């Protein structure tokens, strides 16, 4: 039946992985998942854990939905997607609680809110429902990575300027504080995350002319 078997990492498949990193980044181009990007990016560590959690949830639920794609009646597909995502999120949440309790506490409700992350639903609807499992898996990993990269960049700047640390380690030496340097309190507040995301979008569009709309 399948006359031409596609290699696992054909250029088309690689594109599924790399495209969300830049040209169709879920946060900076599609502007999805902003809510959690504002909430969990005060420090790098929680942001990283969040990114990994989203990646797991997204990759697995993409694969599951892709496997079910021919059996799910279109009318109830949203409910089915939600059930799959929700069970994954509960699993991830339990694992975090068991092994990374501190960070789980910091992320608090936002792990649970992965269920409502529009990126995941969006990819299930747009991709997994009409593609094979392997491609769906790559698509899930790619989009989660695109999401995670932005999360970690934002968190890096917010933690560096807001708390003077990166990954919990002191980066800005004490002597700088003695000169009168102060941590920027605004960086800790959510509005600054929005501004940092905005600046990232600005830089990205300045470099990648494809993204600039013509009007």
Catalog residues that contact other proteins under the rule CB under 8 A.
180-182, 184-187, 189, 195, 198-199, 202
- For residue 87, give the 3-state DSSP assignment: helix
Rg (CA), the chain: 19
Of 52 and 161, nearer to other proteins (C-beta) is 161
Q: Are 211 and 23 in contact (CB under 8 A)?
A: yes
Which CB atom, from 90 or from 199, has the smaller least distance to other proteins?
Answer: 199
Q: Residue 124: CB partners within 8 Å, gap ≥ 6?
A: 61, 62, 65, 81, 84, 85
Supply the minimum distance, in Å, between the C-beta of residue 48 and other proteins: 25
Q: Where are the beta strands (DSSP E) in the chain?
A: 165-166, 169-170
* Identity of the residue, 56 or 155, whose beta carbon is nearer to other proteins in the bound complex: 155
Shortest distance, position 212 Cβ to other proteins, whole Å: 14
Task: In angstroms, give the least distance from the CB of 186 to other proteins.
Answer: 4
Q: Which is nearer to other proteins, 169 or 179 (CB)?
A: 179
CB 196 to other proteins: min, Å: 10
CA distance 77 to 113: 20
Indicate the residue among 126 and 176 with the shorter CB distance to other proteins: 176
**Residue 63: alpha-carbon gap to chain centroid:** 17
Residue 194 C-beta: closest distance to other proteins, Å: 11
């Amino acid at each position: 039946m399948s006359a031409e078997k596609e290699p696992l990492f054909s250029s088309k498949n690689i594109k599924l992985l790399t495209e969300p990193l830049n040209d169709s980044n879920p946060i900076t181009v599609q502007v999805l998942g902003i809510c959690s990007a504002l909430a969990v990016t005060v420090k790098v560590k929680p942001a990283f854990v969040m990114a990994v959690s989203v990646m797991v949830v997204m990759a697995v639920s993409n694969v599951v939905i892709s496997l079910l794609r021919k059996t799910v009646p279109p009318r109830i597909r949203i409910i089915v997607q939600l059930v799959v995502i929700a069970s994954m999120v509960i699993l991830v949440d339990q694992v975090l609680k068991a092994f990374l309790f501190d960070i789980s506490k910091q992320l608090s409700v936002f792990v649970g809110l992965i269920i409502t992350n529009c990126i995941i639903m969006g990819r299930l609807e747009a991709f997994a429902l009409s593609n094979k499992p392997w491609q769906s898996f790559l698509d899930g990993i790619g989009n989660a990575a695109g999401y995670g990269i932005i999360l970690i960049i934002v968190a890096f700047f917010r933690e560096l300027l807001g708390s003077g640390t990166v990954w919990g380690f002191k980066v800005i030496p004490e002597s700088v504080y003695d000169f009168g340097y102060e941590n920027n309190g605004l960086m800790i507040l959510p509005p600054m995350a929005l501004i940092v995301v905005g600046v990232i979008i600005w830089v990205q569009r300045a470099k990648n002319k494809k993204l600039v709309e013509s009007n």
